[in-house]
Amino acid sequence: EIEGREDAVRAFHWILEKKVRGFESWWTSRKVVEHVRHREEPLQPQVAQAAELYDLARYTPETYDLDKSELERMRQAIRACASAET
């Protein structure tokens, strides 16, 4: 379950490990999105959405909390990725 910033970061890492082929662990989230777009991966929209939310969770001040809408968007991206065959 994705309830906050740390969960969003872990969720993005899960997407990378389980659903993105050929990525390098040192890549930025933007590089991952570029890679997925270039390879025309079917999960491109979900990876892009998750990367945007990952950046918010990872790089905004700790006082920033992801709102309900942002958390739900991350949940949707994870559900779509989890159910997709790669």
**pLDDT of 86:** 63
Above 90 in pLDDT, residue 10? yes
Above 90 in pLDDT, residue 85? no
Report the alpha-carbon distance of residue 60 to residue 53 in Å, rounded: 10
What is the end-to-end Cα distance of the chain in Å, rounded?
A: 22
**pLDDT of 68:** 96
pTM of the model: 0.90
Contact 19, 42 (CB under 8 A): no
Report the alpha-carbon distance of residue 15 to residue 52 in Å, rounded: 13
Q: Kindly state the tokens that stand for 74.
A: 């991350």
- Chain segment 21-73, per-residue pLDDT in tens: 899 999 999 999 999 999 888 899 999 999 999 999 999 999 999 999 999 99
